[in-house]
Structures are given as C-alpha cells and as structure tokens.
Amino acid sequence: MLISVLNRVKNLDQLKRKYVTALFDFMLSLVAFCVAFIMIEKQLPDFYNYSYMLSIAIGASVFVVFIFYLLGLYKDILRYIGMKSIAKLMLGSLIGALAMLVAINLLLGYSPRRLVAIYMMTLGVSTIAMRIFARVNIVNILKNGEKTQRVLIYGVGDAGHQIMRMMKQSDEYEAVGFLDDDISKHGLKIDNIKIYPSINAPILTDELEVDLILLAMPSLSKQKRRDIIFALEDCNAKIKTLPHISELVDGSRTISDIQDIDVTELLGREPVAPIEELFSLYIENQTILVTGGAGSIGSELCRQIIKNAPKQLIILDSSEYSLYTIEQELSAIIKNEGLNVELIPILGSVQSMLRLRSIFTKYKVDTIYHAAAYKHVPLVELNIVEGISNNVFGTLNVANAAIAANVKNFTLISTDKAVRPTNVMGASKRMAELVLQALAKESHNTCFSMVRFGNVLGSSGSVVPLFKKQIEAGGPVTVTDPKISRYFMTIPEAAQLVIQAGAMAKGGEVYVLDMGVPVKIYDLARQMIHLANLTVCDASEPDGDIEIKFSGLRPGEKLYEELLIGEDVIETKHERIMSANEVCLSWRSFEEVLGRIKTACDQYDIEDLHNLFTDAPVGYNHNGHYVDLVKSY
C-alpha cells in the first residue's frame, strides 16, 4: 500500500508535488501548535470553545507555507535536500513563530513566549525530518518496490565517491561495494559501503548478487582500462563505464547515462592529438576528391576533411545508397556547424576512365584520397578478375587522370594484407602500391604516397559487426582459428593518420601506421560475449550462453598479418607514422607486367593471372585453390 502511494507521488508532475509538500508543511505547523500547547498546558487545545486558538493556528500555518514559498523551499527536490535547505527551514520556522507571537500579542494582549519557542522548534524539526525521510527512506522503499541493479563500483577516487552518492538518490542502482587495487584501502568503508580487493571480483559478484560492475575511473589510461576489462572476464555481471565526471557534475550527463563498454576499449590504444599543420596542409581552401568516399574509411575521411575548411569536397562512389547516406550526413554537419564547404556527391566507378576524366575536367582537384577498393578477402577470392580490375587498374586510372590534371597530392589507402600476400585482394593492393611507386619516379606534378595499416574496428566486412550480430542471435560466434590474430585501430584514428601521412609525402613514400599489439580474434570474441553479459559455452562451462566455433582458415587467409616488407623503417614527425623504404620497379619495367595482367583480365584467364601474380615482384604466395565464380580452375 505504502509503495503504491509513494509511486503515485513520485509520478506526479512538479507542480502537484509542490502542493503535496506545502500541504504536509501546513499540517505539520498545526501539529507543532498542538504539541506546544500540550507541553505548556498539559492538555489538548479546546478549538471548539475557543475558536480564536484555531484561527491563530490556521493563520500561522498559512503564513509559514507562504514564508517557505518565498524562501524557495518548494523548488527543492526532496531527495536532494542539503544543509542550505535545512537552514532555510529553520529560518522560516523562526519567522513563522515570531509572526505568531506578534499576532497573539496584538489580539490577546499577552506574549506566550514558551509556547512560541516550542512551536518554532517543533515546526523546524518536523519539516526537516519530513524532508530527510523523503530523501533517505522513500528512495529505499521505492527501490524495494522496483527492480534495482546491484552495483560494484570499481575505483574509490572522486568519481567513485560521487557516483556512489548519486546512486543513493537513485531508484535504478544500488551500490553494494567498491573494488580497488590499493591494498591499504581494503576493508575500509565509504558511507558504510565496504571496499574489497579487485582480485576478489568474481567471488563478490556471486556473494553480493551483483548485476553490474561500474568502472568509475574516467581518467585511467586506455591500456589500464583494457587490462581491467580482461581481468573481469570471469565475473558473472555486466560491465559498464562512467561518462567523464565533469559531465555528471555540470549536468550534461546523468547517472542514467552510464555507458556500455565500447569494443574500442579492448584495444587499449591511447589517442594521440593530430599535428595541426599536417592535418590542414593539403585540405584548407582546396578541392578534395575521396574515391570510395561512402565506404567505411572513405566516409570517415570525408567527416574529418569537411571540418578542416576545404573549398570543395568531391565524394566518388559506386554505391548509390551509401553515397546518398553520407551526402545527407555531411550536408547536415555543414548546415548545423555553418561550414562553407561545397559538397559534390558523384556516382561512378574508378574503372571508368571516361568518368574520371569528366570529373577532373570540370573540377580542379588539388588532393586525392584513394580509398576505392574491393577489400573483402573471401569475396575477392571468388571474383578474381573484378577484384584485380578495380584494385589495380582502378588505381592506375585515377593516378593517370590525376597526372593529366596536375593534381598536387595523391594518397592511396593500402592494407597490411599487401605484405607477402597469400590472397588475391592483398596481391592486388600490393600491385596498386607498386603502380604508384613506379609512377612517382616519372616526371610530372603529382606527389604520390601510400598509407598501409591493418583492420579497423566496425568497418564493413570486419569481424566486430559480424560478432555482434551472431551474439544477438544467440550464437554461435564463428572464429576461423584459435591462433588467428589481427591488427586493429579505430576508423577515426586511421582516417586522421592517413590525412597526416599524406601531408608529409615528398613522392613515392610508403607510410606504415603503428597498429600497436595484434589482437587474438578468439580473445576478442570472448570479450564481446562477456561485455554482452553472457558467458562462453565451452568445456569449462558447458552451460554457457554462446558457443565459439572454429571454422578453419578460408582460402587466402593468414594466421597473422605483417606491416613491413623489409626492416628499413624511418621515423617521421608523427609518433604513430613510419616511413618504409621498400624495393620498387621503374615504370618502364613495370608497365610490361601490367600490360600482361590487363590482357589476362580481358580474356578472363584465371590461370594466367595466377602465374603472373606469382612471378610479379609482390611476394605472392597463394595458399589455396583458385575458384572464380564465373570461371574455375
């Protein structure tokens, strides 16, 4: 019954809650008058025979409510009452008591100072007690009536302490303990909530019936956060994290904005601020072309480019829907932020030289970021000719068109799969690198460079969205091999580094991004299952939620990827960008190889393509059987 009433009060709008509070204050004032009278006269006031006493009591109570209103007490949220509100209540009680004393003196000709003093104290204590009850007990009663999440807070610093205090006022969460690595703090208590060793987290989640472990360390390094997340893998509780404490304090975020752990946390990579002069050098007030501009990397390049004040941004892509989507998004950014950028979305393929020439004829392009490529290894293995035509000859087409139009800068987005490739996609990207390296030695006005990096989290065709989909479907999660590992970085970081690398180029450089430590895909799958508050079904836990199945390496797939062909690496002015000195061919000697590959593509001769790639200086070592969906060998 009480829970039902309290829930109804809680669900009232703000104005009605003010009326309820004022009614309680009015009634408490009447009670305070009766209490004071009883303590002085040792009997109840006779309101029936002495109506003036009732008039005084009611008049004083109305006046008290009015004074409380003037003091702003009805603007307070009861569950957040503090010392300032308590001081106002005592002041209001004092003013009300003095007004009663004056009224009695004027009406009855005497001054009942003891009665007024007792009335003042009783009124002050009772109104304060009523609000403290609302602050402490009503929240707890409501918690018992609703499903609350029992929380272990990881970290006892300022953020942990503040979030604990906020949880005391919440009906969504209940703090049941702290976790911390500092041995000197173990066993101590904060507001009667005990601090436990973080190593005991798996046991505590069961003993304390914990629903959620909250990382309350917003200033912690990415690597340390990653280590903690991995250490909590065996805990039978969901793991979430706090917004930055400044967002909680300034009101821009609330306790209900507690966030899921993003998969990027599993990388443990610290962000590096861009070098501003590199970031805008070949963008500001210039015309930029991004091929494949509606893809994962291309679209992020566009997002970062428009914020660096280009004159025009041309987005070239063959996917109508994807081009429409990114055009709508960028147009909204330009409008909302008042940017002076002309956005030019163009449907077309880099395989069409006619289309490229028409673009370069109409627009005076200054800088090109060439992201257009077929990059999905298994699909390119089944569409060999199309993959080579797009990745190799599409790159050649854009490069030749750029030279003819005197484009200043051309940056190719490459891949770690181009290093000692075992698949057609990787070999085609290495061939694209060689095309630009050879052209860079020729006499023209275009500066060519290449940027090579590994996988990006969340890109189309990557394992992260696939794993999310499989987990949401109840499994199984498919991993090709328990030993397989890959380099990962976030899409925004990759795009940021590509722009800066291209700005450092003098001609022909292959830039390699620092990808950090490779991630085992099996570990990534386990952590994504755990972050979804599910358990892995394996031999050690046969009743787990999600099974991980090993499907075996696919044709052309490696257990691990490499970033460097040789060991000759030079540091650059950016700590995460290296320049690799690698062997390349002259255009004259390489042009013949390209001609033979073009003929094999035109004739759809898969066997000849296989032999040509094996003989070409790309380090190609295919580890499977060629199966093109149109023609098989």
Comparing 562 with 125, the larger pLDDT belongs to: 125
Last residue of a domain, one of 117, 144, 171: 144
**DSSP 8-state secondary structure symbol assigned to residue 456:** E
**Predicted local confidence at residue 254, as pLDDT:** 62
458 φ/ψ angles, rounded to the nearest 5 degrees? 85, 0
Tell me the residue type at 589.
S
pLDDT at 615: 87
| CATH code, domain carrying 229 | 3.40.50.720
Residue 113 has pLDDT above 70, yes or no: yes
Q: Are 7 and 132 found together in one domain?
A: yes
Residue with tokens 């290093």: 419
What integer pLDDT is reported at residue 511 of this predicted model? 92
In a domain, 326, yes or no: yes
Rounded to the nearest integer, the mean pLDDT of the chain is 84
Query: Token pair of 350, please?
Result: 């880099």
Residues 201 and 344 in one domain: no
Separation of alpha carbons 606 and 629, rounded Å: 11
* pLDDT range class, residue 632, cuts 50, 70, 90: low
Q: Say yes or no: 158 and 15 in one domain.
A: no
CB–CB of 182/209 below 8 Å? Answer: no
172: in domain: yes
Residues 334 and 422 in one domain: yes
**Nearest residue to 417 via CA among 623, 224, 213:** 623
Residues 100 and 232 in one domain: no
Q: Which residue has the higher pLDDT, 355 or 584?
A: 355
- For residue 395, the tally of other CB atoms under 10 A from its CB is 28
- pTM of the predicted structure, to 2 decimals: 0.72
- pLDDT, residue 367, reads 97
Q: Considering the domain boundaries, does residue 553 fall inside one?
A: no
- Is the separation of the CB atoms in 227 and 233 below 8 Å? no
Q: Are both 322 and 450 inside the same structural domain?
A: yes
**pLDDT-based confidence at residue 255 (cuts at 50, 70, 90):** low
Q: How far is the C-alpha of 135 from the C-alpha of 169, rounded, in Å?
A: 7
Token pair of 540, please?
Answer: 């050690």
Instruction: Check whether residue 230 and residue 288 sit in a common domain.
Output: no
Structure tokens at 532: 């979804």
- Amino acid identity at 199: I
Could you give the CA distance from residue 240 to residue 235 in angstroms, rounded to a whole number?
A: 13
Q: Is residue 266 part of a domain?
A: no
pLDDT score recorded for residue 137? 60
The residues facing 409 across adjacent strands are 367, 447
pLDDT band at 2 (very low <50, low <70, confident <90, very high): very low
Q: What is the pLDDT at residue 475?
A: 84
The span from the first CA to the last CA of the chain, in angstroms, equals 78
Average pLDDT over residues 601-615: 89
Burial profile 462-478: b = 16 or more Cβ within 10 angstroms, e = fewer: bbbeebeebbeeebbbe
Rounded Cα distance, 347 and 46, in Å: 91
Amino acid present at 212: L
Residue 18: enclosing H or E segment and its boundaries?
helix 14-41
3-state secondary structure 256-312: HHCEECCHHHHCCCCCCCCCHHHHHCCCCCCEEEEECCCCHHHHHHHHHHHCCCCCE
In a domain, 269, yes or no: no
Count up the domains in the chain and report the number: 3
46/86: higher pLDDT: 86
578 and 444 belong to one structural domain: yes
Q: What angle do CA 488, 494, 499 make, to 5 degrees?
A: 160
127 and 156 both lie in a single domain: no
pLDDT tier, 391 (very low <50, low <70, confident <90, very high otherwise): very high
Tell which of 144, 166, 187 closes a domain.
144
Q: Does residue 256 register a pLDDT over 70? A: no
pLDDT at 10 over 60: no
385 confidence band (pLDDT: 50, 70, 90): very high
Least confident of 205-209, 259-263, 323-327, 598-602: 259-263
- Output the pLDDT for position 6: 52
Which residue do the tokens 């360390």 mark? 217
Residue 571 belongs to what H/E stretch? strand 569-571
Alpha-carbon torsion 144, 149, 153, 157, what sign?
A: negative
Which pLDDT tens digit goes with each residue over 530-574? 888 788 888 888 888 889 999 888 777 778 777 666 566 788 888
pLDDT bracket for residue 460 (50, 70, 90): low
pLDDT (average), residues 457-485: 84
Q: For residue 220, give both structure tokens.
A: 């912690």
Same domain, 378 and 420: yes
Residues 6+ apart with CB under 8 A from 138: 6, 10, 78, 79
At residue 488 the predicted structure's pLDDT band, cuts being 50, 70 and 90, is confident
Range of the domain at 162: 149-261
Which of 97, 121, 144 is the last residue in one of the domains?
144
- 222 within a domain of the structure (yes/no): yes
Judge if 181 and 68 occupy the same domain: no
Query: Considering the domain boundaries, does residue 466 fall inside one?
Result: no
Q: Is residue 609 part of a domain?
A: yes
List all residues 6 or more positions away from 447 whose beta carbon is below 8 Å from its beta carbon: 408, 409, 410, 440, 505, 506, 507
Q: Which two tokens stand for residue 303?
A: 């997002």
Going across the sheet that includes 509-513, the strands are 342-347, 312-317, 287-291, 367-370, 409-415, 447-453, 509-513, 577-580, 569-571
State whether the Cα torsion 602-606-612-616 is positive or negative.
positive
Do 164 and 117 share a domain, yes or no?
no
pLDDT tops 90 at residue 305? yes
Q: What percent of the chain has pLDDT over 70?
A: 88
Q: Which residues contact 555 (CB under 8 A, 6 or more apart)?
A: 378, 381, 423, 623, 624, 625, 627
